[in-house]
């Protein structure tokens, strides 16, 4: 295998999804068929990255993307996490081995096309064939729970609307929101462009003004109902306007870093399959995260009202997921329609490769 093949695999792998486009990985090249992923999480700075699990989902998606990309070169991927590395900075040894008659994955070409669509989608139901393909994509150990009836979508939209109030009114999320948005942009290599947020120009301007300082956010929330219009546009309408919401449920409730990495691999197969079917997808993880805080009795905000709001969310989410919210590794909405015109891009591969340590 030529070294360029490894670089081609990594150049596709870097398109894996990550929360707020953080790209929590770097690559150490060890040989033509061996590289190491240096992961990290953002649990210390990001209220949404509870125990680093969302970052671990992203790393799983990265590994799955590399595995899919490797099939284009007749290579099978084997991954091994180094058990002695801290969970906040996990290390994964990745080896690529030739495998006779290994078919090229039909998902390879969709890796760079996959993106988030945050705007409303048509309510056209999925076909039986589309549902079956998505259900099969997650693989053994997982199943897809659909919330796609009219009443179910309405209930999920209301839940997302209420969850967004927590997200937009707690000081612990303020710095995250202020730092991850690239204002006035349709594309961004390391942030979320404002053009991809799914809100109109007036809401974008209001959000940009408010996020200049936390006191300004508080004043707008108190006197101008500052969260209502963004929540309608980013949560309620999209929650209603889609084919349905899909939760990926693990047979065994996820508990370890390896569980979440495997869940991320299942999620990426689901998302890439949706892209191949001409469908859009948008993650909806924050309700799962807030409800896990409640389940485990862990305070996530200094605002008492936020805790009370999350307490009311938890049973509603569990009911929508058929009583299996503890088994959920992923939640998102699916639907047809045009691809997003604005999207997060990725850092170039040259910025993601780290040099191996110099020999002693």
CA distance from start to end of the chain: 28
For the segment 231-250, what is each residue's pLDDT rounded down to a tens digit? 999 999 999 999 999 999 99
337-344 average pLDDT score:
96
Fold matches, 3-113 and 128-344:
yes
Q: What is the pLDDT of residue 1?
A: 46
For residue 108, pLDDT over 50 is answered with: yes
CA distances from 271 to 39, 141, 283, 333, 360 (A): 22, 17, 10, 10, 44
Average pLDDT over residues 239-264: 98
Q: How confident is the model at residue 109 (pLDDT cuts 50, 70, 90)?
A: very high
In this structure, what are the phi and psi dihedrals at residue 303, rounded to the nearest 5 degrees?
-85, 110
pTM of the predicted structure, to 2 decimals:
0.96
Q: How far is CA 62 from CA 38, 92, 258, 326, in A?
A: 12, 11, 14, 24
pLDDT digits 0-9 by tens, 319-330: 999 999 999 999
- Measured CA to CA, the distance from residue 125 to residue 142 in angstroms comes to 22
Tokens standing for 333?
């909405």
84 against 224, higher pLDDT: 84
pLDDT of residue 218: 87
pLDDT (mean) for 117-133: 97
For residue 106, give the nearest of 287, 292, 272, 253 by alpha carbon: 272
pLDDT score, position 166: 94
60-81 mean pLDDT: 98
Domain 128-344 has CATH 3.40.109: yes
pLDDT of residue 357: 52
- The domain limits of the chain are 3-113, 128-344
Q: List pLDDT tens digits, range 305-319.
A: 999 999 999 999 999
The answer to whether residue 4 scores a pLDDT higher than 90 is no
The pLDDT of residue 100 is 94
| In the predicted structure, residue 332 carries a pLDDT above the cut 60 | yes
Q: What is the mean pLDDT of the chain?
A: 95
Looking at the predicted structure, is the pLDDT value of residue 221 above 90?
no
Please provide residue 30's backbone torsions phi and psi, each rounded to the nearest 5 degrees.
Answer: -105, -30
Q: Does residue 345 surpass a pLDDT of 60? A: yes
The reported pLDDT for the residue numbered 3 is 52
Does 222 score more than 80 pLDDT?
Answer: no
CATH number of 3-113: 3.40.109.10
The whole-number average pLDDT for the span 179-196 is 96
**pLDDT tier at 224, thresholds 50, 70, 90:** low
Helix H or strand E segment including 153: helix 150-169
Position 206 scores a pLDDT of 87
Banded model confidence at residue 278, pLDDT cuts 50, 70, 90? very high
pLDDT tens digits, residue range 75-97? 999 999 999 999 999 999 999 99
Please tell me the predicted confidence (pLDDT) of residue 272: 98
Residue 154 has pLDDT above 70, yes or no: yes
CA torsion 246-238-313-19 (nearest 10°) is: 70
360: confidence class by pLDDT, cuts 50, 70, 90:
very low
């Amino acid at each position: 295998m030529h070294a360029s093949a490894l670089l081609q695999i990594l150049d596709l792998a870097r398109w894996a999804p990550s929360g707020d486009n953080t790209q929590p990985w770097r690559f150490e090249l060890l040989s033509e068929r061996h590289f190491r992923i240096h992961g990290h999480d953002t649990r210390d700075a990001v209220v949404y990255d509870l125990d680093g699990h969302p970052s671990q989902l992203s790393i799983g998606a990265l590994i799955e993307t590399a595995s899919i990309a490797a099939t284009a070169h007749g290579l099978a991927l084997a991954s091994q996490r180094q058990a002695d590395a801290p969970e906040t900075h996990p290390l994964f040894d990745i080896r690529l081995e030739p495998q006779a008659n290994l078919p090229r994955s039909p998902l390879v070409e969709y890796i760079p096309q996959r993106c988030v669509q945050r705007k409303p989608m048509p309510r056209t139901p999925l076909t039986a064939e589309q549902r079956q393909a998505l259900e099969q994509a997650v693989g053994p150990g997982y199943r897809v729970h659909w919330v796609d009836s009219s009443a179910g979508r309405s209930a999920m939209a209301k839940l997302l609307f209420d969850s967004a109030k927590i997200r937009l009114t707690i000081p612990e999320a303020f710095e995250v929101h202020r730092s991850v948005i690239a204002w006035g942009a349709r594309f961004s290599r390391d942030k979320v462009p404002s053009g991809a947020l799914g809100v109109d120009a007036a809401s974008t301007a209001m959000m940009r003004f408010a996020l200049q300082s936390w006191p300004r956010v508080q004043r707008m929330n108190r006197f101008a109902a500052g969260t209502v219009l963004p929540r309608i546009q980013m949560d309620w309408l999209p929650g209603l306007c889609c084919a349905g919401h899909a939760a990926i449920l693990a047979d065994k409730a996820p508990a370890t870093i390896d569980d979440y990495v495997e869940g991320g691999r299942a999620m990426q197969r689901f998302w890439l399959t949706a892209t191949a079917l001409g469908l859009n997808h948008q993650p909806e993880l924050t309700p799962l995260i807030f409800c896990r805080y409640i389940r485990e009795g862990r305070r996530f905000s200094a605002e008492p009202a936020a805790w009370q709001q999350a307490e009311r969310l938890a049973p509603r989410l569990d009911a929508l997921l058929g009583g299996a919210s503890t088994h959920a590794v992923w939640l998102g909405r699916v639907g047809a329609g045009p691809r997003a015109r604005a999207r997060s891009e990725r850092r170039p591969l040259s910025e993601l490769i780290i040099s191996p340590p110099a020999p002693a």
